[in-house]
C-alpha cells in the first residue's frame, strides 16, 4: 500500500489520501459592487478539476475576512452571505468527488491593497481604487510601499471577531476544514515576527506577546468551529533573516502552543515577511521545517514547497517527514496529479465514472 494513498484522520474527519491542494490565490473575483469577493465560474471550474483529479483535500485560496483584509481587490471574500452561497456551490461538488473541502481565511495586513501579479502586483493607492492597509506597526513591507496604520487594541479585537464570523460562514458554506493564514507576511504572521512587529504593548516585544494575536484568533475560531472538525494553521517557519526575524525555533515553540489551543495540523511554509531576502529554493526545500515540527512536537504537519512528482511525495510520507503534502504549482500544471500518482505507486484513488475509460 502506498503511504501517499493511505487515508488520514483528524478528529472525526477522514481524508481519503495525502495528496492535498495548497491554497493559491486566483485574483479573479469581482473587485467592487455587490459581487465583490464572490466566487464565480472560474473558481468552480478550477477547484472542480482538481477534485475530479483525485485530490484528497482542497484548501480554497486565501479568502478575506473583510474587504480591507484582501491582498488585492480581486480576492475572494467571506464577509457576507452572498459569498457563502457561491462557495457552497464549490463545496457541494467537491464532496461528490470524495474530496474534503477546506478554506483558508485570512487578513493581508500591511500587504493589502495590491494589484494582480500578472498586471503589476505592486501597491494600489487610495487614489487608484485601493485602500489604506493596517498592521501591527507602521512599518512598510518594502521600501516605497505605503506606511500602514498601526492597529489599536480595539481594532485588533474587531479583526478577531471578523475571523470568528468568517469561520461561522465557512461552516454554513459546507467546508470541513478551516485554515488560519499565519504565513507569508500577512497579518497574523506580521504579529509573530519582530521584523514587522515593533509594538511595546501586550501584542509586541516578547515571544509571548507577539503570539498573543495568533492564539486569540485560534481560540475565537475554535470556539465556533465544530469540535468534530479540524482546524489548520499555516505558518512561515522562517523569515530567512539572520537576525531579528521569526526563526525555526520559534515555529517549534509556537506549534506546541497551537496544539494546546486546539489546532490539529500545521501547514509549514516559509518566507514572505521580509523583502529582498534570498531564499535557497529547490525540490522539497521547505520539507525539513515540517519534519522538525513533526519530530519535536505532537502536532501533525503538512509539507509544501516544490513537491512535483509522485516518488518524491511518497518518500516524504513514508519517511515520516510529514503527514500530508500540499501541492501548489504542480496542481496548476496537472489537475489529475493524484490519479497519475496512484497509477504509478499502486495506490487507490477516486476516479469519476465519466473517466473510467481512461484508467
Q: What is the pLDDT at residue 289?
A: 98
Q: Residue 311: its pLDDT value, please?
A: 98
Q: Which domain holds residue 247?
A: 3-358
Tens of pLDDT, residue by residue over 266-289, are 999 999 999 999 999 999 999 999
- Residue spans of the chain under pLDDT 50: none
The kind and range of the H/E element at 258 are: helix 248-260
Per-residue model confidence (pLDDT) at position 217: 99
Whole-number Cα distances in Å, 303 to 65, 268, 287: 25, 6, 5
Q: Which residues pair with 157 in a beta bridge?
A: none
Give the pLDDT confidence score for residue 227 in this predicted structure: 98
Q: What pLDDT was estimated at residue 358?
A: 85
C-alpha cell at 257: 502552543
CA distance 117 to 139: 22
Q: pLDDT tens digit string along 215-245?
A: 999 999 999 999 999 999 999 999 999 999 9
Which positions are annotated as active-site residues? 186
CATH code, domain with 12? 3.20.20.70
Helix (H, G, I), strand (E, B) or coil at 191: helix
Query: Which of 30, 10, 18 has its CA nearest to residue 55?
Result: 18
Q: Give the bridge partners for 11, in sequence order.
A: none
> Into how many domains does the chain fold?
1
Give CA separation, 133 vs 68, 117, 136, 252, 273, in Å. Answer: 7, 18, 11, 30, 15
Amino acid at each position: 500500500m502506498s503511504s501517499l494513498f493511505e487515508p488520514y484522520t483528524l478528529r472525526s474527519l477522514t481524508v481519503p489520501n495525502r495528496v492535498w491542494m495548497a491554497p493559491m490565490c486566483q485574483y479573479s473575483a469581482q473587485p467592487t459592487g455587490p459581487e465583490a469577493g464572490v466566487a464565480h465560474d472560474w473558481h468552480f471550474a478550477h477547484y472542480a478539476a482538481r477534485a475530479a483529479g483525485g485530490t484528497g483535500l482542497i484548501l480554497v485560496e486565501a479568502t478575506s475576512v473583510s474587504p480591507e483584509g484582501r491582498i488585492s481587490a480581486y480576492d475572494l471574500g467571506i464577509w457576507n452571505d452572498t459569498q457563502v452561497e457561491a462557495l457552497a456551490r464549490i463545496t457541494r461538488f467537491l464532496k461528490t468527488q470524495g474530496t474534503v473541502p477546506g478554506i483558508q481565511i485570512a487578513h493581508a495586513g500591511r500587504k493589502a491593497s495590491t494589484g494582480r501579479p500578472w498586471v503589476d502586483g505592486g501597491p494600489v493607492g487610495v487614489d487608484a481604487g485601493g485602500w489604506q492597509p493596517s498592521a501591527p506597526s507602521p512599518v512598510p513591507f518594502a521600501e516605497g510601499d505605503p506606511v500602514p496604520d498601526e492597529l489599536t487594541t480595539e481594532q485588533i479585537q474587531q479583526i478577531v471577531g471578523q475571523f470568528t464570523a468568517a469561520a461561522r460562514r465557512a461552516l454554513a458554506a459546507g467546508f470541513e476544514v478551516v485554515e488560519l493564514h499565519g504565513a507569508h507576511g500577512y497579518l497574523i504572521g506580521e504579529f509573530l515576527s519582530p521584523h514587522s512587529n515593533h509594538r511595546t504593548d501586550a501584542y509586541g516585544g516578547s515571544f509571548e506577546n507577539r503570539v498573543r494575536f495568533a492564539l486569540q484568533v485560534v481560540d475565537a475560531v475554535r470556539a465556533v468551529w465544530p469540535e468534530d472538525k479540524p482546524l489548520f494553521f499555516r505558518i512561515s517557519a522562517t523569515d530567512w533573516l539572520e537576525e531579528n526575524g521569526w526563526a525555526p525555533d520559534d515555529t517549534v515553540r509556537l506549534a506546541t502552543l497551537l496544539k494546546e489551543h486546539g489546532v490539529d495540523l500545521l501547514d509549514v511554509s516559509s518566507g514572505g515577511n521580509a523583502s529582498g531576502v534570498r531564499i535557497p529554493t529547490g525540490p522539497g526545500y521547505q520539507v525539513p521545517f515540517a519534519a522538525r515540527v513533526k519530530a519535536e512536537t505532537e502536532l501533525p504537519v503538512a509539507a509544501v514547497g516544490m513537491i512535483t512528482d509522485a516518488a518524491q511525495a511518497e518518500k516524504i510520507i513514508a519517511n515520516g517527514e510529514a503527514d500530508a503534502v500540499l501541492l501548489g504549482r504542480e496542481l496548476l500544471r496537472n489537475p489529475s496529479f493524484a490519479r497519475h500518482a496512484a497509477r504509478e505507486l499502486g495506490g487507490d484513488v477516486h476516479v469519476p465514472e465519466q473517466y473510467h475509460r481512461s484508467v
